[in-house]
Structure 1
Amino acid sequence: MDVTLDASDRLARLLAFAIPALLLSGALISEHVFGLYPCEMCWWQRYGHIAAIGLAFLGAIAPQPRLWVGLAALAIAVSGLIGVAHVGVEYGWWQGITACSSDDFNSFVLVRCDKAEWTLWGISLAGWNALFSLGGAMAIWALLLVKEKAA
């Protein structure tokens, strides 16, 4: 482990782990406590967070921690971009994948991607994921670019 990380790098590493862990925890609580089951696009967003947690962990134990933290931020951003695509499907801005946004339930898809199951202030769970993921990824990258000034 590189012990020469400055405070901004350490904060970036913490955020690279905490943001996806909190968002994934929120998704799991929404599912298992409140019965908001994920559609296929919801699962795609979760995969980005799972990958980010693993990459952030590598940032704590592997050489070149800033590389791993930067890749974790990329995985978080990908989850956010999938969230943007999902929001577009939910609000009818564009069409989603057919198996996920039709009334044909002969497939294994049980939850439609084009219907927001829950919103807060008009923003769906996919929208909140997009906002927090993209904002978090930008914050992590900004912290990685910051160099502490010598005292």
Structure 2
Amino acid sequence: MEIFYRNALFVALLASLVALGTAFTSQYIFDLWPCVLCLYQRWPYSGVIVISLLGMVMRHQIDSRVFLVLCALGFAATAAIGAFHVGVEQGWWQGTAECVGDTSKALSVQDLKAQIMSAPIVRCDDIAWSLFGISMAGYNVIAAAILSIFCFLTAAKATR
């Protein structure tokens, strides 16, 4: 039964690495710069990476089901953020007022202006890429929801 736990945590780890790898590849190789909601969707994947690694290392000290449930919650969080993002893209509701640029490093008005002018401006309601009418945020919702269900079901199955 222990192999089943370890494999589920490995699936969560691998899926999170692939999701973040895809996000960074689209950003740095294909110049699809993220909006603030895209950036928010990345954080839960980072959390799942840490949780799944801890779960694999500490499987003898702490029940692996705890880590599976935490991974499921991480996937559910990014799915929820993604669903909100899809709603913004579709015009169902308004997005956040934040922008991508970090102006905290500007020392003068000229520095601030240069930083703002050089930062890519990405609106959350602009769909940068889609396939079959589904945006990247939409694919994130689908993948993360499936992964969340997988982790919850694995944890539940392990209790029997």
TM superposition score normalised by structure 2:
0.80
How far residue 96 of structure 1 moved from its aligned partner, in angstroms, is 0.8
Task: Give the distance between the partners of 2:78 and 2:35, measured in 1 at CA.
Answer: 14
- Counterpart mapping for 1:60-71 below 5 A: 60-62=56-58, 63-64=61-62, 65-71=64-70
2: CA distance between counterparts of 1:48 and 1:110? Answer: 23
8 Å CA contact retained: 1:12, 1:141: no
- The whole-number CA distance in structure 2 between the counterparts of 1:109 and 1:37 is 7
Decide which of 117, 121, 132 is 2:128's aligned counterpart: 117
Q: Deviations over 1:16-58 (max 9, x none)?
A: 2112111111101111111101100000000010111001111
Counterpart Cα distance in 1 of 2:127 and 2:66 = 36
Is 1:79 the equivalent of 2:78?
yes
Unpaired segments ≥5 residues, structure 2: 100-112
RMSD: 2.0
Please say if 1:129 is aligned against 2:126: no
TM-score (normalizing by structure 1): 0.84
Distance 1:128 1:76, change over 3 A: same
Native 8 Å contact 2:20 2:42 kept in 1: yes
> How far off is 1:73 after superposition?
1.8
Unpaired segments of 5 or more residues in structure 1? Answer: 101-105
The Cα of 1:70 is off from its aligned counterpart by 1.6
**Map of 1:5 onto structure 2:** 2
What fraction of aligned residue pairs are identical, expressed as a percent? Answer: 33
Q: How far off is 1:14 after superposition?
A: 1.5
Structure 1's consecutive aligned runs of 4 or more residues displaced over 6 angstroms after TM superposition are 106-109
Q: How many residues align?
A: 140
Higher Cα Rg, which structure: 2
> Alpha-carbon deviation of 1:109?
7.3
Q: Which residue of 1 aligns with 2:153?
A: 142
Q: Which amino acid aligns with 1:80?
A: A
